[in-house]
Amino acid sequence: MSTIAPQFRLSRFVASLFDIIFWVILIFSLVGLPIVFIVLFYIKMPVINGQMLTPYLALTWMADPSRTLPIIKTLIHTTFFHVLAFPGFGFAALLAAATIFVERKFLAKIQLRVGPLYCGKVEGILQLMGDGLKLISKEIIIPAKADKPIFWVGPLLFVGTAGAFVSLIPVARGWVVANPAVGLLAVFATIGFFPIISVLTAWAANNKWTFIGGLRALHQMIAFEIPLILSLLSIVIMTGTLNLSQIAESQQHYWWIVFAPISAIVFFICILAELERIPFDLPEAESEIVAGWLTEFSGMMYGLIQLGTYLKLYAFAGLFTVLFLGGWNGPMVWPPFPADIVTQGITIGPITAKIAGLPLFDQDMLNGTLWFVIKTVGVILLILLPRGVFPRIRIDMLLHTGWYKLIGLAFINIFIALGLLYAGILGPGGLIQ
């Protein structure tokens, strides 16, 4: 290589940190404090617990953990937080962003490259932000004869559907955005939207390549949805429930991958096809049909599709974890919360502070989340791996795989599950002791 990476200099990094702190203080004192006084002067403040809520009081509360923590704790258990941050969109988007970075470095290591290197000084960790800013700042070009409303709404629908899928995945015991009794059916209903969105946007773009790509996406997803549903039928037979949380709960002792390995393999292959990943990336086959059904998307519209794709990747990996790898179940490795902090307080030098609001999350939830994330990341890495070793499959072989081989394989495990059930080895809810 003739180029070398720019060296990371700690001194410059520290200097830039000081720079940022200086500007924050300056702007706060020049703008923030005058605003506080203007607010105090003009706006009538509410009275809470006999005290008038001035900005000073608000700041005091923020500085006093024992008064703030209950507020945060209440916030954490609101639906708003669930949807936006923890088991929902924010958590998934964070994992998706990590996935994109890991995929690029991982693939680069397979291919004897270095991958992203410059952006963000340390191994290119800010590359994704750079790419995102680039996509946001790019012009959105819409073909002249496109069906504009549908073309506009396509990426939004895609992200929305992916988000709906994410909301069905239970991360830890009781931590799930939506917990319908027929969770698995809701999953099938949600992923049934993706081919429709693909073919709609492909048609709306009024381009031959998008048209071919959209039709390929439609064929592929429909061909693989049936083995996907059939492969999960054996799980439903063994657990006797469609609720994802209960399915995860039923695997406290044995994971279902032990009893349904064929289903797991079929489901994994179907995941690859549903996600349009290599070797099943026919709808976006570059050397054949330019970029398939994404050909006409530019700027942030393409960025939204990519975001949706990676959210979908996370959701499928999470679903695999919940159904086959025991979800949040795992040995308790998270250390218990030290109760002294609440009862006796922490002593820092001369100060002893009792913090009443802690702990924010209980040990069970943190441990469950840890195990869920570890398993999901493992599945995501397995999904990423074929991109480094496989070429693209052909459409006739793809349909043959979906309609013929995988359906047959999925049936085998249904019979195995039925056999286990009638032999009295398994009962609804797990092994019969």
Partner 1 sequence: MTTQLPPGIKLETVDDRIMTLNVGPQHPGSGHMRLIIKVDGDYIVSCDPDPGYVHRGEEKMAEYRNYIQNVPHLERPVIHDSSNILYPYCLAVEELLGIEVPERAKYIRVIAAELNRCIYILYWLAIYGIFLGHSTMFMWPAGDRELFIDLLEAMSGARVTHAYLVPGGVRNDLPANFEERCLRQVDYLEKRLKEYLAVFYKNPILISRTEGTGILSRTDAIRLGTTGSVLRASGVNFDIRKKEPYDVYENLDFETVVMKEGDSYARSYVPYLEMFESCRIIRDAIRKMPKSGSVRTKLKPNPKGGNDEVYKRVESGRGALGYYIVSNNRPEPYRVKISVGSFRNLICMPYLLKGELLGNMPAVYWSLNYWPVEADR
Please give the Cα distance from 325 to 320 (Å, whole number): 7
Please give the Cα distance from 118 to 402 (Å, whole number): 42
State yes or no: residue 397 binds partner 1 (CB under 8 A): yes
Torsion of CA 342, 346, 350, 353, to 10 degrees: -30
Q: How far is the CB of 397 from partner 1 (least distance, A)?
A: 6
Site track 52-71 with partner 1 (rule: CB under 8 A), x = hit:
--------------------
Judged by beta carbon, residue 115 or residue 299, the one nearer partner 1 is: 115
State yes or no: residue 391 binds partner 1 (CB under 8 A): yes
Q: Which of 131, 147, 288, 362 binds partner 1 (CB under 8 A)?
A: 288
State yes or no: residue 269 binds partner 1 (CB under 8 A): no
Segment (H or E) for 223: helix 208-239
SS3 52: strand
Residue with the two structure tokens 């060296």? 7
Please give the Cα distance from 416 to 429 (Å, whole number): 17
State yes or no: residue 281 binds partner 1 (CB under 8 A): yes
Binding segment toward partner 1, per CB under 8 A, in 153-161, 244-252, 363-371, 383-391: 383-391
Binding segment toward partner 1, per CB under 8 A, in 111-119, 149-157, 336-344, 368-376: 111-119
Please choose, from the candidates 291, 149, 282, the residue with its C-alpha nearest in 3D space to the C-alpha of residue 208: 291
Q: How far is the CB of 398 from partner 1 (least distance, A)?
A: 9
Q: Are 294 and 151 in contact (CB under 8 A)?
A: no
Please give the Cα distance from 366 to 370 (Å, whole number): 6
Q: Which of 102, 107, 114, 418 binds partner 1 (CB under 8 A)?
A: 107
* DSSP code for 85: T
State yes or no: residue 394 binds partner 1 (CB under 8 A): yes
Binding segment toward partner 1, per CB under 8 A, in 128-136, 246-254, 386-394, 406-414: 386-394
Q: How many CB atoms lie within 10 A of CB 223?
A: 22
> Which tokens belong to 16?
């830039």
State yes or no: residue 109 binds partner 1 (CB under 8 A): no
Binding segment toward partner 1, per CB under 8 A, in 97-105, 108-116, 193-201, 370-378: 108-116
Task: List contacts with partner 1 (CB under 8 A).
Answer: 107, 110-113, 208, 212, 278-279, 281-282, 285-290, 387-397
